[in-house]
Structure 1
């Protein structure tokens, strides 16, 4: 590479919004996402050692748990957009209060999350799974739900670092407690190192303990003297009503979008579970493996959202667009490689579920399902990057309406396919593949339309120029 600054600014790697900037922000988030992915993957492999029902139950129960969390979680995650735009606009004193509005959302939502614990038997009875699978699902869901408040709090607190591009801190915290979770998983599932042997309940408690330790760690970091002085992380603890309303106005649709998408996906999984034990186990394996591809793209998409927010805060929409396209280049290159491996060497991923076991119908079906995953991976990457980019600008209303329509269609089509026309496992996977393709195209077109370029979620002027009650209208195209 040439040493000339004029030349280096024009390269894909070193220009603003180029590869170096994107990867410096996104790579730690990819590692963070992978740490969660590896943790859940190993968790299910360990539970497969208990029984196939335990593995399937953990997958469906954790999916329903995440579905219940999605609305408040999406709002808590959206605090990072406020942090990124305030950071880009040079208003550090507004960063601490933005983080704490997300924390207030977490605190207000937590009692509602805990109220779902006694509802678990009715929810899983409606899924119509086998008696043993249902018993294990209820246990795992009820245990996990005690970690829901910690999940929401940790996500809110992490926005303080992720929104400013300090993603290495997020990576280190996530990786540390992923390791803690894995160690506790092994000890609590099998009864090692003095822990009781609790099977699937032990796996749940390992996750709960790890989540609370993570949330506590972020509180300590947030209260460091330098952070209190520069970013108002202590003085900004109060409920700032004008700012809270803006967080809800933009973050609410983001949370609903996440909830709708995951709900559609959850309904699909629950209905596929009615097709039989083999279909349920093969689907659980395929989706568990696909998460290995999905979560790194989630990290890249989070990085795209942060960079869009920062550059729009600087009023540099061209650089924001370039950051998004660079993120997409990296995402597609990665997804293409992974998809080829799913088709060419599926055993590289599936073998871990069959250590010491015969490979039969479940293995053969899972191999075929991985080909479906390979078929939608590239559009899935496109979907995730562009959704995150326009959400980073504040275009959350459009995202919400698209998700409402498409999630309803997926749920209805899955119900008809399974209960009315007996489409079978492969017909159901055609539905999920087509759903992702359509969403990818829709959000690509929305990004190209460019409406997001003039959107902002922060005030038009610094807070000291606000009107008498301290509230300013956000700048929205």
Structure 2
């Protein structure tokens, strides 16, 4: 029998209701919120260790994520396949979709290991200060080791999120976060029997947490007998047609991740060329903004899941209802954080202060207070980007998202930031860069809203129109805990 404590869906939940959205979204919000807290704590620890360490962590982490983003976008799009197949009551195809994602993760994870030896050359080319370069290369190289487990964990999480079983994902991520935070402190500062490794310790803690996440998913699948009910071990074979369909729809989604991340990575790199203080202030501002933005990604995954399920059922109008409810909640949430960013910046920045106040940190703090005002301004548009972008991608409209993000990201953020860095006065470079970033998010959010209102996505789907008759093993047992 399935563990009732983890089964949050009931037959009394009305499709398209706020309760249905909450059942799926709240565990994901808590899960993503715990991840954002983990990243904030990680940066706080690195700030206590050294200004150079916190300045190196964001660009190195972003570049590693950039390289992994195409595969991660494809892996996460398994969620849409699972949701639509679940809506169409095709359990065998759910299992087959998960396995194609596993093969993709294994291939890309192996390729990412080849990047680690070239870290020193790459970060030397970027041109940050010598001290920061060395730390960036070290942090990046270790993170590459955890790419494979991270990708595999993302695929296995889609087996749960796509079916609305988001409580499982929440508990797995909470456990992983606790592992990461504990190891962060021990390995950065050398607590107990552990040596003090600084930024290297932070990277090792992240990789260890990725491995623990993968092992937890495998254990839960076996313990809850879901592998047997969905025939996961019966449908493991490579399916060329389904794999290519995952590439067809998942590649634009992965390229969307890549374009978005590389745009922000180039933004961070250019800000880093302005100076170490500007880079550290930007790192802290983005880190604090993640407290609001990262939990929103949980809402986005919930919207993709519910839109995908409704498309699979042939009821797109219910997806419209769910999306608008998600936006109303998300916009309220982000506006609350905007008030906090503007009204209480000193309180937010207090944990970053070292025990002995330095002149460098005072400059970082002054700059970060200004940058938090930008974060308050674009927080509302972040809600639009996440909710409406997730809705249309949940139906299969990934190509538009990819092209639109590419055009707006480079035209409004990357190229203007380069021009500001190249030609603006020193005192105006940081301000001008963040104006470009804020403008980009505003245009991106409005564009996704217009695309959603146009309604093209209602006629899209990533799964087949007709399915073969189910085999005996596919109809052996009813699926417990599925979305209704």
Question: Paired residue for 2:3?
Answer: none
Query: Given the alignment of the two structures, is residue 458 of structure 1 paired with residue 463 of structure 2, yes or no?
Result: yes
Q: Give 1:15 shift.
A: 5.1
Question: Paired residue for 1:71?
Answer: 70
Distance 1:14 1:222, change over 3 A: closer
Distance 1:228 1:399, change over 3 A: same
Distance 1:86 1:275, change over 3 A: same
Report the secondary structure of 2:225's partner residue. helix
Question: Paired residue for 1:108?
Answer: 107
**Structure 1 residues 382-461: aligned runs within 5 Å:** 382-409=384-411, 410-422=413-425, 423-461=428-466
**Structure 1 residues 26-425: aligned runs within 5 Å:** 26-224=25-223, 226-358=225-357, 360-409=362-411, 410-422=413-425, 423-425=428-430
CA distance in 1, matches of 2:47, 2:416: 31
Q: Give 1:348 shift.
A: 2.3
| Farther off after superposition, 227-236 or 87-96 | 227-236
| Farther off after superposition, 148-157 or 103-112 | 103-112
Q: Tell me if the contact between 2:395 and 2:460 (Cα under 8 Å) persists in the aligned partners.
A: yes
RMSD: 1.5
Large movers: runs of 4+ above 4 Å: none
Q: Give 1:34 shift.
A: 1.1
Distance 1:204 1:177, change over 3 A: same
CA distance in 2, matches of 1:357, 1:333: 38
Q: Give 1:355 shift.
A: 4.4
| Farther off after superposition, 448-457 or 125-134 | 125-134
Which ranges of structure 2 fall in alignment gaps of 5 or more residues? 1-11, 471-484
Q: Tell me if the contact between 1:223 and 1:234 (Cα under 8 Å) persists in the aligned partners.
A: no
**Superimposed CA distance per residue, residues 395-432 of structure 1 (whole angstroms, 9 cap, x where no aligned partner):** 01111111221233232222121123445100110000
Q: Tell me if the contact between 2:417 and 2:432 (Cα under 8 Å) persists in the aligned partners.
A: no
**Superimposed CA distance per residue, residues 2-38 of structure 1 (whole angstroms, 9 cap, x where no aligned partner):** xxxxxxxxxxx97532221111101111111111111
Report the secondary structure of 1:440's partner residue. helix
Q: Tell me if the contact between 2:256 and 2:405 (Cα under 8 Å) persists in the aligned partners.
A: yes
CA distance in 1, matches of 2:27, 2:354: 32
CA distance in 2, matches of 1:292, 1:331: 13
Q: Give 1:123 shift.
A: 1.9
CA distance in 1, matches of 2:362, 2:226: 56
CA distance in 2, matches of 1:220, 1:97: 20
Q: Tell me if the contact between 1:61 and 1:137 (Cα under 8 Å) persists in the aligned partners.
A: yes
Q: Tell me if the contact between 2:176 and 2:213 (Cα under 8 Å) persists in the aligned partners.
A: yes
Report the secondary structure of 1:49's partner residue. helix
| Farther off after superposition, 51-60 or 251-260 | 51-60
Question: Paired residue for 2:15?
Answer: 16
Question: Paired residue for 2:476?
Answer: none
Aligned residues: 453
CA distance in 2, matches of 1:239, 1:223: 22
CA distance in 2, matches of 1:396, 1:174: 27
The two structures have a TM-score, normalised by structure 1, of: 0.93
CA distance in 1, matches of 2:354, 2:48: 9
Report the secondary structure of 2:128's partner residue. coil
CA distance in 2, matches of 1:65, 1:177: 20
CA distance in 2, matches of 1:321, 1:281: 41
Q: Give 1:321 shift.
A: 0.8
Q: Give 1:351 shift.
A: 0.7
Q: Which protein, 1 or 2, shows the higher relative CO under an 8 Å CA cutoff with sep ≥ 6?
A: 2
